[in-house]
Amino acid sequence: MHQCECNSRCLFPQMQMRFDGLLGFPGGFVNLQKETLETGLSRELWEELGVAIPISVEDHVVSCLAPALFSSTSSSCLITHLYVKRMEEEQILEVERAAASTAKDHGHEVLGMIRVPLYTIKGEGGLASFLSHSFIGNARSQLVESLLQSYMPATSQGLPITAHAYNLCPFT
């Protein structure tokens, strides 16, 4: 996930329309015998976005064990790791341009990058409507979790607010 943090603290979260018609974050499988989570994610970002984006452990937000149902093979489990990379607005615009032109996976695995609407519109629309779309795996709760952490990093007890506190099942 990429967020722009400008002087006015506006957020510009980015997701992508996948080849299967579901919304998700840029990323993919990492083989830990060959690379670390961070180098694997940087590799996937290069393929899907067409821009070199170095990822470090400091960008990690949350990890989650997915039910076997969401793994590619029913006998193995899947652990999802969410990283949030904060970028300047100009860098985000560069990512949007490259993702739609030079990125290797554009038009194949990735159909396009999408800005998440963080506003509300009277009646319906905005973020509420966006969340009602279909997401891959636990991407919906990953989005909510990262937004909560960006806007409300800690509760009064100093504990991070999680999607669970908002009764969101991570895999629905």
Ligand X SMILES: O=c1[nH]cnc2c1ncn2[C@@H]1O[C@H](COP(=O)(O)OP(=O)(O)O)[C@@H](O)[C@H]1O
| Residue 63 or 120 having the CB closest to ligand X | 63
| Residue 51 or 142 having the CB closest to ligand X | 142
Pick the binder of ligand X from 45, 49, 87, 136 (CB under 6 A): 136
| Residue 13 or 27 having the CB closest to ligand X | 27
By CB under 6 A, is residue 119 in contact with ligand X?
Answer: no
CB atoms within 10 A of CB 38: 18
For ligand X, which stretch binds (CB under 6 A), given 83-91, 93-101, 120-128, 133-141?
133-141
CB of 41 to ligand X, least distance (A): 11
By CB under 6 A, is residue 137 in contact with ligand X?
Answer: yes
Question: What is the Cα gyration radius of the chain?
Answer: 16
Q: By CB under 6 A, what part of segment 21-50 binds ligand X? A: 24-25, 27-29
Pick the binder of ligand X from 142, 146, 149, 150 (CB under 6 A): 142
Q: What's the rounded Cα separation, in Å, for the pair 8 and 45? A: 27
The secondary structure of residue 67, as a DSSP letter, is P
Pick the binder of ligand X from 11, 37, 78, 98 (CB under 6 A): 78
CB atoms within 10 A of CB 85: 20
| Residue 65 or 93 having the CB closest to ligand X | 65
* 41 burial type by CB count under 10 A (0-12 exposed, 13-18 middle, 19+ buried): buried
CB 160 within 8 A of CB 166: no
CB atoms within 10 A of CB 154: 10
Q: What is the largest CA-CA distance in the chain?
A: 50
Q: What is the binding site for ligand X (CB under 6 A)?
A: 24-25, 27-29, 70, 72, 78, 80, 109, 136-139, 142
